[in-house]
Amino acid sequence: MIFSRKRADEARQARDNGVLDAEETPAAPARGPYDVSEAPEAPRLDLGSLQIPAVPDVEVRVQADPQGVIQQVVLVHGQNALQLGVFAAPRSEGIWDEVREEIRTSLFNDGAAAQEVEGERGTELRARVRTPDGVTDLRFIGIDGPRWMVRGVFQGQAATDPAAAGPLAACLDGLVVDRGHEAKPVREPLPLRLPREVAEQQAAEQQAAGPQEV
């Protein structure tokens, strides 16, 4: 039997309230994004608040500042891409419905129409926007978890045909969120950092390159 995320959230809340004993504790959701407290063991790239599963033929591209703080995470497979973000959310309710409406309003103000579509992971937002490279299709998804929300933006054929997402969808299924325990403002991006060895290598390369001419 597939254990839905809604049922998992309800059971987790009941467990926190002491309703369930250890023998009644349910299994983890059948797929991710997982909370770090319920994630199955698997090889992943640890970026702090997000842990990206190792999926063949998927390239993980990040933009980071000199201190190793990541500004953007994009997964690429062929001509398709999935940009990921993770945000703090309240304990009591999800925020995707509200965030989705704000995205739609922002797109409208920029002259792009957006349409809500019921997808495999709930209500999605699809839009066609103009960029310096031409017209681009986008598909926004949001997944509410315990005190966090993952936002994904598909580009390429996967933006109009979810079946084309392939390995990118597999990455989403295996994604892990490490929210941490400290209090954070709702919708604040959760911190993402390069793995230490990668950050050290980047710093060494920048030091070897010397000062850049302006």
166-181 pLDDT, tens digit per residue, is 999 999 999 999 999 9
Of 12-26, 48-62, 200-214, the one with minimum mean pLDDT is: 12-26
- Reported as a single tens digit per residue, the pLDDT across 102-155 is 999 999 999 998 999 999 999 999 999 988 888 999 999 999 999 999 999 999
Summary mean pLDDT of the chain? 85
The whole-angstrom separation of Cα 198 and Cα 176 is: 20
Residue 131, C-beta contacts closer than 8 angstroms, at least 6 positions apart? none
Residue the block writes with tokens 């309703």: 19
Residue 56 confidence (pLDDT): 96
- The residue with greater pLDDT, 41 or 211, is 41
Mean pLDDT, rounded, for 96-101: 97
Query: What are the angstrom distances between the C-alpha of 213 and each of 49, 208, 210?
Result: 35, 14, 10
Phi/psi of residue 125, nearest 5 degrees: -125, 125
The number of residues making up the chain comes to 214
Residue 66 confidence (pLDDT): 86
Pinpoint the alpha helices (H) of the chain. Answer: 5-16, 96-109, 167-174, 196-209
Residue 214 confidence (pLDDT): 36
Q: DSSP strand E in 107-170: where?
A: 114-119, 122-131, 134-145, 148-155
Mean pLDDT, rounded, for 1-30: 47
